[in-house]
Amino acid sequence: MTRTLLRIDASARTEGSTTRQIADRVAERLAPETVVTRDLSQGLPMIDSDWIAANFTEAADRTEAQRAKLALSDELIAELQAADTILIAVPIYNFGVPSALKAWIDMIARARVTFRYTEAGPEGLLTGKRAILAVASGGTEVDSAIDFATPYLRHVLGFVGITDVQVVRSDRQMVDAEASFARAATDIEELAA
């Protein structure tokens, strides 16, 4: 059962976006009690040297300016921590993820907050969560040799501890739109609520 769904919309398109339409259908299928939506269409700030310096300063030693620099990152991480299901609506842009989604990943992948390094290697700290990727493309086949978005997202999510990742795909729309939408419908039907 999905109690809290965090929905990340990564498409730059706010109207006519396939990933947003698919995400609507996935959210309807899951019927969560609470939905928190993070729309990345206007972009996010890129991390910079001040952000990195703040991040690597112990929390108790951070200046007010450093705390302010990390405030958005803290907010994004809190959204992830509160959710039991994360729905990422992601179009494949030029074989990869949109830049705004990469910026979101840079903001939420924080050592000692969402992952930590151990003698056995990195350990994700966001365990017990489920992620659903609603992926759309014009010509790139999901999980093909030229899809650098879907495997990347699986890896990043696993790195922070989210290993239960399912994919709803509406790929290769410009090759065969009807088949593309049929694949998405089938994938949605196979999702457990």
* C-beta of residue 21 within 8 angstroms of C-beta of residue 114: no
Backbone angles phi, psi at 5, to 5 degrees: -105, 125
Instruction: Kindly give the interhelix angle for 99-108 and 71-82, rounded to the nearest 10 degrees.
Output: 90
How far apart are the C-alpha atoms of 30 and 77, rounded to whole Å?
A: 22
List 86's β-bridge partners, or say none.
Answer: 6, 131
Tokens matching residue 10: 């990564």
Radius of gyration of the CA atoms of the chain, in A:
17
Is 11 labelled as part of a ligand binding site? Answer: yes
Backbone angles phi, psi at 158, to 5 degrees: -60, -35
How far apart are the C-alpha atoms of 91 and 134, rounded to whole Å?
A: 8
Backbone angles phi, psi at 128, to 5 degrees: 75, 20
**153: helix, strand or coil:** helix
Per the annotation, binding residues are 11
Annotated binding residues for FMN: 11
